[in-house]
Amino acid sequence: QYHKPPIRRLPPSVLTRMRQEMGEYLVERSADGVPVITWKYAIFKDVASNRYVKTVASRRMISDNLANYFDGILHIQMMDRDVDAQPLFFAAGVGQLKVPNMRKLGELPHALLGAGDRERLAQRLCDLEVFVLYSADQVLLQEMMMYWRDIGDVMDPVEAYTTALEARRGSCKSDQDLLRLAELYDDVG
């Protein structure tokens, strides 16, 4: 009976109007190198949390939705909404190095922990590419260690990384792959 738009998103004109009307209460800042719009005053966040996120179940649901977004699950589940994929790396351009998705690295583990999905968090932390990115940044490395402390009863990190490295060894097809594997062993310690 009603027309279903080809892409279900908030029209840009609505966003523009909201921004004009609420502009004095919003601020744009950078988070992991990405511009984000947030409340200018903490009281707005507190009131919204108290009103809409009262229960543990609602907090877990929101965290789970965020985890699904950053893990790329919503991109698949909501194709009609044109939800952006969240790859681990962005292509910077032809012939250029790939750029890590720092927003995903920062938000996904936190959201998984908030959702109570400790097994999925352990699986994501065991991704060797993620490990290399975390170990290259002191702040991210500290966060990764904190996450392992929080989920230590789910999986032993040394055993998990050793298993991941052993699995990677079987897929090495060149000397360059073996050198990269040796570097990973060295990083894991």
Per-residue DSSP letters for 29-40?
EEETTEEEEEES
Confidence (pLDDT) at 117: 93
Sign of the Cα torsion 23, 26, 27, 30 reads: negative
Confidence (pLDDT) at 20: 92
Confidence (pLDDT) at 69: 92
Q: Provide the token pair at 157.
A: 């990190």
CA 19 – CA 119 distance, rounded (Å) = 39
Q: Name the stretches of the chain with pLDDT < 50.
A: none
Confidence (pLDDT) at 114: 94
Confidence (pLDDT) at 67: 95
Look-up of token digits 């996120």:
53
Going by C-alpha positions, the residue among 90, 68, 64 that lies closest to residue 78 is 68
pTM comes to: 0.77
